[in-house]
Amino acid sequence: MFWTWWNYRPNPNRPVNLDSVFRVMKETGLDGVILNARSPEEYRETIPIANKNGLEVYAWWWGLNLEHDRDSILKAHPDWFQVNRLGQSLAHTKAYVDYYKFLCPALPEVREYLKDKIRKLCEVDGLNAIVIDYTRFVDVILPTTLWSRYGIVQDREYPEWDYGYHPYLIEKFRQKHGYDPRTLDDPSTDNVWLQFRCDQVTELVNELSEVVHSYGKKMSASPFPTPAMSRRMVRQDWGKWNLDIVFPMIYKNFYTYDVSFISDCTIENVKTANRKTTVFAGLTAFNGSEMFESMDAALNNGAEGICIFTIGSLRDPEVRAKFKTYTDSVRTARAKSKVNPSSTGITAVDTNPFNKTVIMGFIHHRIAAYTSVAKAASLPELRNIDRATIESLTKNPLQANTAEDFISRLKAAASPPRGNPELQPIVDAMINHFSPDINLGQYRLDREFGTTKYYQVVEQNSGIVFHVDFYLYGDLVSGWNVEPQAESYEAYIKKQ
């Protein structure tokens, strides 16, 4: 019931004590490890040691996004890579990060190449399942908390991130449906084109599943949080995949930060996954109480088990001991009953973001933080400070969701070794003038576009107008964002 993803990267200069690693996993309460090794030989090296420590081993395998043989395929087959709506190929273009080198799932040569690779893994004795990852298109919509990392806002599908326009795939679509999606005013609104790309990935996965099953092994995957979300965000219609087990990556810190996101996703997954598929929950590992709140949210809403990313984040021995106690108690409770004894029985997701009290609390804090920064920026001792310096200093703190985290991030900006001590006076002024007390008016729906709802709300004391956006990918609250309206923000600073 309890697993972890784990990368095995042997280094001759720093040998890995596999026996110790796997023993810690077992002592923490885990049943198995989804292991990413570089070759069948490395799996053969690790599996006996994992089994000796009572752990089952599944292979964590990157599918369409090349990992270990990226450079050789780029050189030999540059025509295999995905193409975006602008006609740019990943063979020559960077999408977000350098290692995003996804192959086009429609190409017969790609499918045969991947089936050959997976056959070699299936020939490894003791490897009980293949867990495919990165078997999708490039993210047309990134999880919302990653937007600030890349300096982007993806409230809709933009051409540079919209992949699936490989010439072979376009022609395959044209022959079936009679038109070229590139001629549409907005291809993102065409559900036929969306579904066709999803179907290319589904066909590939189900072909791979046939290979895996022919070796008597289980087929599994680590897709995006729900079939509906992943269909829209990365063209993974995984509810149609022939999987034995699914480990959807329900990482709340990538989306809303709220544990209700885990509950909502799990409820949807139980309803919409393939009926032959056992639904687990892939969760971020937290070194504290969040870990157990997250597991409760998944298990109490229908997940059959948990996989954490990763055990290395459970650094505190007391947390690992508590994790072991937790796993033992869940196994005992499940063994006594054929049904989940702690099930909430909830089958419908609340899609009203204003009913999500945790999220609304985070939004309240963000507005308070922006207002406090504006107030501090108008202080006499800060008026001569370059605004770019203040913006750079507060960029990371303004992403915090609590007052404690906001102040901690501000302090870090002026603390060695990474911080700049010369910023200490500015940091002190920011902290001293932070106040959680704000007076918000009524939220007003400004507009809607697709799955995004744009609201405005005025902080009455300052007159600052705030844009508050909610993202409902997959028909659940999957993200939010807060930004002050530039004009009212600047006006408030100037009048202080």
Q: Domain residue spans in the chain?
A: 2-336, 353-495
CB atoms within 10 A of CB 179: 12
pTM for this prediction = 0.95
Supply the pLDDT for residue 417: 87
Q: Select 2-336's CATH number: 3.30.70.60, 3.20.20.80, 3.40.1190.10, 1.10.10.60.
A: 3.20.20.80
Supply the pLDDT for residue 276: 96
- 42 phi-psi bin (left φ>0, alpha ψ -120 to 50, beta other): alpha
The CA distance from 446 to 474, in Å, is: 22
Could you tell me the CA-to-CA distances from 175 to 172, 179, 180, 402, 430 in Å, in that order? 5, 8, 9, 54, 61
Supply the pLDDT for residue 49: 98
Tokens standing for 393?
A: 């200093």
Query: Kindly report the CA angle at 29 between 23 and 34, in degrees rounded to 5?
Result: 75
Q: What is the pLDDT of residues 383-418, one digit of tens each?
A: 788 888 888 899 999 999 999 999 999 999 999 888
Q: Average the pLDDT over 63-75 and give the result.
A: 95
Supply the pLDDT for residue 341: 66
Burial of 315 (0-12, 13-18, 19+ CB in 10 A): exposed
Q: Average the pLDDT over 364-377 and give the result.
A: 94
State yes or no: pLDDT of 60 exceeds 70: yes
Q: What is the pLDDT of residues 162-198, one digit of tens each?
A: 999 999 999 999 999 999 999 999 999 999 999 999 9
- Closest Cα to residue 483, out of 462, 451, 454, 461? 454
Phi, psi dihedral angles at 98 (to 5 degrees): -65, -30
Going by pLDDT thresholds of 50, 70 and 90, the confidence category of residue 12 is confident
One-letter amino acid for residue 211 of the chain: V
Biggest CA pair distance of the chain? 74
Going by pLDDT thresholds of 50, 70 and 90, the confidence category of residue 229 is very high
Lowest-confidence pick of 57-61, 339-343, 473-477: 339-343
Tokens standing for 72?
A: 């050789």
The CA distance from 361 to 442, in Å, is: 15
The CA distance from 391 to 153, in Å, is: 18
Going by pLDDT thresholds of 50, 70 and 90, the confidence category of residue 373 is very high
The CA distance from 364 to 370, in Å, is: 10
Q: What is the pLDDT of residues 415-461, one digit of tens each?
A: 988 888 888 988 999 999 899 999 999 999 999 998 999 999 999 99
The CA distance from 198 to 231, in Å, is: 7
- Give the residue carrying structure tokens 């303004």: 398
Q: What is the pLDDT of residues 110-156, one digit of tens each?
A: 999 999 999 999 999 999 999 999 999 999 999 999 998 899 989 89
Q: Where are the beta strands (DSSP E) in 385-488?
A: 444-449, 452-459, 464-471, 479-484
- Closest Cα to residue 147, out of 388, 478, 487, 490? 478
